[in-house]
Structure 1
Amino acid sequence: MDTDRLPGCYRHPDRDTGITCTRCERPICPECMISASVGFQCPECVRAGSGTGHHPTANAPRTIAGGVVAADPHLVTKILIGINVLMFFVALSDPVLARELALYGLYRDYFGGTLHGVSTGEYYRLLTSAFLHTEWWHIAGNMLALWVIGGPLEAALGRVRYLAVFLLSGLGGSALVYLLTEPNVATLGASGAVFGLLGATVVLAKRLRYEMRPVITMVVLMLVLTFVPLGGSLSVSWQAHVGGLITGALVGLGMLMPAAGRNRALVQWGTCGVAFLLAAMVIALRTAELT
């Protein structure tokens, strides 16, 4: 018997956790833990406390990051998957539209024609490309990873903070692609955003004092696979993966490390602002090179 193994959550026994409810001391996983004035409480203790005459806001269910606990903790992940699947079929039916939404630094639509790309002011491509796929293996792999990694992270962060990590990671990955990739090469896919969620998951595991070796192993494995050709007409963009991973880890630190208190939201959204400004600086630098 492995005596070093952490106990399982009382509601999800297959999920090891080092966090316990401060009232009943039952082990609780990120999906079940609710922020309290001191530590975290389980849903049952929060419900019991809300009926004792306490002020309702004092017992409002909160995630480990301070977000509101939602009835469906995976709703945003489902919506993101739905948008990606919808855009996949749109791109298949209209290749011209797909080219208009893909990440290009600079290209000419035909000989002597109009120049297009991020460097011409089409900055929307930095985010639209993160929702665009044109091959089945590409969207299947990304959506599976989004569900496996994103679902638990959304439950731990809350909807708004989780969406911020996803979008900023997608932007960070696109910014590095824009900086380091040939401007007339198309890049698309949610890989940068997914790697960002992975980076934030590493921070979450550290915050909850989980065993880090499985998480680090997953990161290393995904980075190794980044450089292995998967076939098809698209190649894997290591720039998007690395940029997204770094951005997601940075934003995850800001979301998860501050203790509950007045300044936590300021630190969280301040970190998001810093991540956005860093991406904007990279984008501005590359645009200056191409114009």
Structure 2
Amino acid sequence: MDQPPGSPQGPRDKGPQDAQNLPGCYRHPDRETGVRCTRCERPICPECMVSASVGFQCPDCVRGGSGTGHAPAATQPRTLAGGTVASDPRLVTKVLIGLNLAFYLVQLSVGDAFTDRFTLFGRAWLSGDIQGVAEGQWYRMLTSMFLHGSAMHIIFNMLSLWWVGGPLEAALGRARFIALYFISGLAGSALCYLLADADQPSLGASGAIFGLFGATAVLMRRLNYDMRPIIALLVINLIFTFGWSNIAWQAHIGGLVAGVVVGYAMVHAPLERRNLVQYGVCALMLVVVVATTLIRTAQLT
């Protein structure tokens, strides 16, 4: 398969009326699409779609042509979700992968003392007592998202982040993608903190990545793309989640639910109230994370 199954760039569903295959995007010929630029009418895939007052435009038209002869657009080009079109649509994804790899190298260099200090639950290095969010170390909700338990753990997560994160970042824009990633990760940490045993270590970017899976499904549905690849990907991952031991299923489910909720707000918000709806839902999810954390802390103290 040329594309990852979770990518929102897969082929569109074809109705009975389609006599031939859909054309390929003019910048990515291997990606079939039924959407065309409203100015030059070239076929464009989700990564190349720029939201316009009517329909979508290609990157060349919104920049003024690149040989097309069109005049520069009067307004700043926007992504499908209303974000600013960036010259490198995968920059945030690359930075997140770099941060995860850097943290893992520190884990290998320093050892358990570092991991126990920043995972969701850990043991104090000297006393051996359980330490965590209940002891006021709230930063663990965030830092645990950048730690991994093995080489295979981080390799699998980073491949998933690259395959799914890049196209999603291009469709949402950097700010919205960052909000989605961190809210999903924090929601995963919160549900794990609420339901897991107080002495069960929990670490990894899986909660955030499951959030990206959920948002990708919402985006593919919004664009009327074939849902079977992302559904298959989710089913496979959920089988691993509940079928293998030593996997914090709570983080996966928490991240997935948050990703679906935030992703839906990102791609379905009405144009006239887009920012209010998008960031209002993000704020609401953060309130849920804080409330969940406070409830669990009250139970443990």
Where do residues 241-256 of structure 1 align in structure 2 (5 Å cutoff)? 241-256=252-267
| Partner-residue secondary structure (3-state), 1:164 | helix
Q: Find 2:103's aligned residue among 65, 87, 90.
A: 87
Mapped to 2, the partners of 1:52 and 1:3 lie a distance apart of 32
Aligned pair partner of 1:217 in 227, 232, 235: 232
Percent of pairs identical after alignment?
54
With 169-178 and 8-17 compared, the bigger mean Cα shift is at: 8-17
1:125 paired residue number: 140
Does structure 1 retain, via aligned residues, the 8 Å contact 2:50–2:59?
yes
For 1:157-172, list aligned pairs within 5 A: 157-172=172-187
Conserved 8 A contact 1:17-1:208: no
Unaligned runs of 5+ in 1: none
TM-score for both structures, normalised by structure 1: 0.90
List 4+ stretches of structure 1 deviating above 4 A. 1-6, 49-54, 106-111
Match for residue 166 of structure 2?
A: 151
Q: Which of 82, 88, 91 is the equivalent residue of 1:66?
A: 82
Deviation at 1:53, TM superposition (A): 7.0
Summarize deviations over 1:188-224 as a string: whole Å, max 9, x none: 0000000101111011101111111222111111111
Match of 2:120 in 1: 103
2:282 is the counterpart of 1:265? no
Asked whether the 8 Å contact 1:109–1:115 carries over to 2, the reply is: no
Deviation at 1:3?
Answer: 4.3
Q: CA deviation at 1:8?
A: 2.6
The 8 Å contact of residues 9 and 28 in structure 1, kept in 2 or not, is answered as yes
- How far is the alpha carbon of 1:29 from its aligned partner? 1.3
Q: In structure 1, give the amino acid aligned to 2:287.
A: L
In the alignment, the residues of structure 2 paired with residue 136 and residue 217 of structure 1 have an alpha-carbon distance, to the nearest angstrom, of 25
**2:154 maps to which residue?**
139
Q: Deviations over 1:10-43 (max 9, x none)?
A: 2112223332222233221121111111121112
The equivalences for 1:269-280 within 5 A come to 269-280=279-290
> What amino acid maps onto 1:99 in structure 2?
D
CA distance 1:42–1:83, shift in 2 (3 Å): same
Residue 4 and residue 257 in structure 1: after superposition, are their counterparts in 2 closer, same or farther (change >3 A)?
farther
- Report the count of equivalent residues: 282
Partner residue, 1:200: 215
TM-score (structure 2 length as normaliser): 0.87
SS in 1 for 2:224: coil
1:119 and 1:81 map into 2 onto residues whose CA distance is 29
The structure-2 alpha-carbon separation of the partners of 1:218 and 1:98, relative to structure 1 and needing over 3 Å to count, comes to same
SS in 1 for 2:64: helix
Letter in 2 for 1:74: R
Q: Is the 8 A contact 1:165 1:197 kept in 2?
A: yes
The offset of 1:6, in angstroms, is 4.3
Aligned to 1:282: 292
Matched residue SS, 2:185: helix
Q: Does the CA-based 8 Å contact 1:92-1:134 persist in structure 2?
A: no
Structure 1 pair 246–186 and aligned structure 2 pair: CA distance change class (3 A): same
The alignment partner of 2:48 has SS state of coil
Unmatched tracts of structure 2, length 5 or more: 1-13
3-state DSSP of counterpart to 2:154: helix
Per-residue deviation, residues 154-211 of structure 1 (Å, max 9, x unmatched): 1111111101100000000001100111011110000000010111101110111111
What residue is the counterpart of 1:8 in the other structure?
Answer: 24
Q: Write the distance in 2 (CA, Å) between the matches of 1:280 and 1:65.
A: 26
Letter in 2 for 1:200: A
